[in-house]
């Protein structure tokens, strides 16, 4: 990767967050919040952030394309570009929009770069805390410039904490998982922000996170961060997560042993 690209994207994401996203937080009018689908909101900050990121990212890498959440909402065919060759930017202009619209945290700005379909780099900015988590394929994961590693031990099921984003699980599976969760230490319904969940696994705030709905802008950035930090990101059947996947179910864990323990407890 070009030596200065990581820093340039880091600067761009921070600028967009500070000039477009943060000033709108807790200052949105009703007219600036819309419902794309039941329970799925979009705000003027999402839209303006994606426009600015699209312009900035394509200027940094001429010839690249952008797959953004709001562009896909306007034209679903844009999603197919995730599997294209060349350089593809995947953008979540405000991850955790429902939190953002409610004046709550967490929410984040997320970007990933794919090269020929493979994750090359990713950026997640916790906007309110101004905490930037970055990963580059083969070079590790970093929080505000300091390299981070996920935990390597497995303290056992009763000592594990994590999240199960239950909202999109099928009813029968949700019921089984909720019943089985008593076999783990602490299980919550999540923070409604993948841009928070993935870095939290790396920092050992929690040891796992489980998702059902898989959209590329939600999971490509964080999955590279977790794997570059030594963690494990696999589908519930144990298969590898790929950027163009449209399947359901994803379990993220600090290491492979914890992944197996959580999987056995919740899904066996």
Report the mean per-residue pLDDT for the chain. Answer: 95
- Predicted confidence at residue 166, as pLDDT, reads 80
Stated pTM of the model: 0.96
Binding site per annotation, positions? 69, 92, 95, 218
Q: How far is CA 205 from CA 27, 50, 130, in A?
A: 30, 29, 18
pLDDT of residue 165: 86
User: 132 phi and psi, to 5 degrees?
Assistant: -105, 125
Burial class (CB in 10 A: 0-12, 13-18, 19+), 115: middle
Q: Which residues are annotated as a binding site for Mg(2+)?
A: 69, 92, 95, 218
Looking at domain 157-267, its CATH class is alpha beta
Taking each continuous run of H as one helix and of E as one strand, the counts in the chain are: 8, 14
The predicted structure's pLDDT at residue 266: 96
Token pair of 14 as six digits: 């921070």
Rounded distance, CA 229 to CA 225, Å? 6
Could you tell me which residues come within 8 angstroms of residue 1 by beta carbon, excluding any fewer than 6 positions away? Answer: 120, 121, 136
Q: Which residues in the chain come in under a pLDDT of 70?
A: 1-2
Q: Omega of the bond prior to 106 within 30 degrees of 0, cis?
A: yes
What pLDDT digit, counting tens, does each position of 186-214 carry? 999 999 999 999 999 999 999 999 999 99
pLDDT (0 to 100) of residue 268: 84
CATH superfamily of domain region 5-148? Fructose-1,6-Bisphosphatase, subunit A, domain 1 (3.30.540.10)
Q: In what order do the strands lie in the sheet with 65-68?
A: 65-68, 87-95, 108-115, 118-126, 131-136, 140-143, 146-148
Bridge partners of 40, per DSSP, are 37
**Among residues 215, 217, 200, 184, which one has the least CA distance to residue 252?**
200
Q: Which residue has the tokens 């992944």?
A: 259
Asked if 211 and 194 count as a contact pair (C-beta separation under 8 A), the reply is: yes
Q: What pLDDT, on the 0 to 100 scale, is given for residue 29?
A: 96
- CA dist., res. 112 & res. 87, Å (int): 10
Tokens of 55: 């312009």
* pLDDT given for residue 253 in this prediction: 98
Domain ranges of the chain: 5-148, 157-267
Let me know: does 84 contact 178? Beta carbons within 8 Å: no
pLDDT of residue 37: 83
């Amino acid at each position: 990767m070009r030596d200065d690209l990581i820093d340039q994207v880091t600067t761009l994401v921070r600028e967009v967050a500070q000039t477009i996203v943060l000033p709108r937080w807790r200052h949105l009018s009703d007219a600036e919040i819309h419902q794309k689908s039941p329970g799925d909101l979009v705000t003027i900050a999402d839209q303006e952030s994606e426009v600015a990121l699209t312009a900035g990212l394509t200027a940094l890498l001429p010839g690249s394309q952008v797959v953004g959440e709001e562009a896909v909402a306007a034209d679903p065919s844009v999603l197919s570009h995730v599997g294209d060759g060349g350089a593809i930017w995947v953008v979540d202009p405000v991850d955790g929009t429902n939190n953002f619209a409610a004046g709550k945290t967490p929410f984040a700005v997320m970007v990933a770069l794919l090269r020929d379909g493979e994750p090359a780099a990713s950026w997640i900015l916790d906007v309110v805390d101004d905490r930037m988590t970055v990963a580059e394929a083969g070079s590790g994961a970093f929080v505000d410039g300091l390299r981070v590693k996920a935990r390597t031990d497995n303290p056992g099921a009763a000592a594990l904490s994590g999240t199960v984003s239950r909202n999109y699980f099928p009813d029968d599976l949700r019921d089984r998982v909720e019943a089985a969760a008593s076999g783990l230490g602490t299980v919550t319904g999540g923070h409604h922000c993948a841009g928070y969940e993935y870095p939290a696994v790396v920092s050992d705030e929690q040891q796992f996170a489980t998702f059902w709905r898989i959209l590329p802008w939600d999971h490509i950035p964080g999955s590279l961060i977790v794997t570059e930090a030594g963690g494990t990101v696999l589908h519930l059947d144990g298969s590898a997560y790929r950027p163009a996947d449209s399947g359901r179910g994803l379990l993220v864990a600090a290491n492979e042993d914890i992944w197996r323990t959580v999987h056995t407890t919740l899904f066996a």
